[in-house]
Amino acid sequence: MFAAGRIINPDTARSQLLGGMTMGLSMALHEQSVLDPRFGHVINHDLANYTSPPTPMSA
């Protein structure tokens, strides 16, 4: 589901939709829970270590 309100520029709206989907998919694919072997706690419990693919530069 995608709620956009009133779309003024369809090209920009499409770009925002695709960018959001790319970021969400990237986060899901790069997600990994790293456990501390000594205590069993999750080490990477925040979003600080997330990576995302580079965005293509449009000419």
pLDDT digits (tens, 9 = 90+) for 16-57: 889 888 888 877 777 777 888 999 888 877 767 666 666 666
Encoded tokens for 59 = 């000419």
Residue 6 has pLDDT above 70, yes or no: yes
Q: Are 23 and 52 within 8 A, CB to CB?
A: yes
Residue 59 has pLDDT above 90, yes or no: no
Task: Tell which phi-psi region holds residue 34, choosing left (phi > 0), alpha (psi between -120 and 50) or beta.
Answer: beta
pLDDT of 29: 73
